[in-house]
């Protein structure tokens, strides 16, 4: 089954955002994933996040690799630009597209196999270069599409459906992204939409490399007792670092909190990340502390979720390269061909 049409008629009373669009306008085709797959919940969170942010669908470029997770770009934002690339190669395609046209909003969707195995090098360089993107990893600890082999993010000792333990050490993409210089790093759970939607919104409004690592159980191959990526295990071992509320620039700030109970971080576009402290004492502006905290929780078998790190002042690859703000396809002839004298100056400077 490769294509299913969704009815396009909307009920007239469906709520609309500031652009006059309903949530349905941000959906894609009917999902062909297994019923109960965590990835579908992430697609729903992306739809909700973009609808609430009044994102113009035609200003979004969604890119992915290969895997059940990478298929999901077909199931949301049906009116946006889409590119389903080769396994593990989404980051370089996204980087190229972003360099050619920075006016779009870049949404990279990948899996743990796609990003932590074959695409690890690509993942690493996109993070360290600060490509302006929201990079979502739909992390189930297995290669779902190819029938459940352990991926590089599977915990050591976690058991496969047939009871075979994983002997290899686990890779933590959030810790890796922190080490590599990503400037917005969050971890969510597909079963907690209330936490996931603002985490995605904060990433969309962040300038720079933003990773949202989402634990997303695979009901077909990794949802059994002995797995550390099953719904039951994650619910029991999920410890939230903070509760995040995303406040767009246009919204009036109404709620009052006790001093010290909430950390407020203003992003470059004026949007506000309001982080309510929970039991864990956690400062999301301390990169090293974030890495330590994630690893400490992991050593106890716990999964730290929430906004782990943000640098609201971060720049991106364009700032460092000094590239033109005009999309390359909109540059006119005089900009593209400045003439013989300019060429001679460049050549002379290189002699
Ligand atoms: C170059 C290449 N190597 C291997 C494959 C086979 N393959 C397809 S998807 C996949 C793993 C997908 O795992 P993940 O990214 O975790 O996605 P999931 O299906 O779990 O969401 C593999 C190994 C491929 N398509 N292309
Ligand atoms: S195999 Fe796993 S990851 Fe793929 S659609 Fe089914 S539940 Fe989701
Ligand atoms: Mg996977």
- Which ligand does the CA of 31 lie closest to? 2
Which three-class secondary structure state does DSSP give residue 213?
strand
Atom of ligand 1 nearest to the CA of 111: 15
Q: What is the pLDDT of residues 180-221, one digit of tens each?
A: 999 999 999 999 999 999 999 999 999 999 999 999 999 999
Q: What is the pLDDT of residues 127-139, one digit of tens each?
A: 999 999 999 999 9
Q: Establish whether residue 142 lines the binding site of ligand 2, counting it when its CB lies within 6 angstroms of any ligand atom.
A: no
Pocket test for ligand 1, best of 31, 123, 146 (most atoms within 8 A of CB): 146
Average confidence (pLDDT) over 342-348: 94
Which letter, b or e, does each residue of 128-165 get, where b requires 16 or more Cβ atoms within 10 Å of its Cβ? ebbbbbbbbbbbbbbbbbeebebbbbbbeebbbbeeee
Pocket test for ligand 1, best of 41, 67, 221 (most atoms within 8 A of CB): 67
Is the full-model pTM beyond 0.85?
A: yes
Question: Which helix (H) or strand (E) covers residue 107, if one does?
Answer: strand 105-111
Which three-class secondary structure state does DSSP give residue 21?
coil
Confidence tier at 162 by pLDDT (50, 70, 90): very high
Q: Whose CA is nearest to atom 24 of ligand 1?
A: 87
Q: Whose CA is nearest to atom 7 of ligand 1?
A: 146
Contact at 8 Å (CB) between 47 and 149?
A: no
How high is the pLDDT of residue 1?
A: 47
């Amino acid at each position: 089954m490769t294509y299913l049409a969704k009815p396009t008629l909307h009920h007239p009373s469906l709520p609309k955002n500031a652009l006059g669009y309903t949530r349905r306008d941000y959906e894609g085709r009917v999902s062909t994933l297994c019923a109960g797959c965590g990835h579908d919940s992430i697609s729903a969170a992306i739809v909700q996040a973009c609808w609430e942010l009044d994102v113009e669908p035609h200003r979004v470029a969604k890119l992915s690799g290969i895997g059940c997770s990478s298929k999901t770009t077909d199931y949301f934002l049906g009116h946006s630009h889409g590119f389903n690339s080769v396994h593990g190669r989404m980051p370089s395609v996204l980087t190229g597209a972003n360099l050619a046209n920075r006016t779009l909003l870049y949404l990279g969707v990948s899996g743990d196999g796609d990003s932590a195995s074959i695409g690890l090098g690509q993942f690493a360089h996109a993070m360290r270069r600060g490509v302006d993107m929201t990079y979502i990893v739909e992390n189930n600890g297995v290669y779902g599409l190819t029938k459940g082999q352990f991926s590089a993010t599977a915990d050591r000792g976690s058991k496969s459906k047939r009871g075979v333990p994983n002997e290899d050490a686990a890779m933590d993409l959030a810790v890796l992204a922190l080490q590599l210089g990503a400037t917005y790093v969050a971890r969510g759970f597909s079963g907690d939409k209330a936490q996931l939607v603002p985490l995605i919104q904060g990433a969309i409004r962040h300038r720079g490399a933003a990773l949202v690592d989402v634990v997303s159980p695979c009901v077909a191959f990794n949802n059994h007792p002995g797995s550390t990526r099953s719904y039951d295990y994650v619910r029991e071992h999920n410890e939230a670092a903070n509760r995040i509320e995303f406040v767009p620039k246009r919204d009036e700030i109404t709620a009052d909190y006790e001093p010290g109970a909430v950390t407020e971080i203003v992003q470059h576009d004026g949007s506000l990340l309001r982080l309510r402290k929970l039991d864990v004492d956690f400062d999301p502006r301390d990169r090293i502390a974030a890495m330590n905290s994630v690893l400490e929780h992991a050593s106890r078998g716990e999964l730290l979720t929430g906004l782990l790190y943000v640098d609201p002042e971060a720049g991106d690859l364009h700032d460092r390269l000094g590239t033109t703000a005009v999309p390359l396809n909109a540059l006119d002839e005089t900009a593209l061909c400045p003439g013989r004298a300019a060429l001679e100056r460049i050549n002379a400077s290189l002699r």
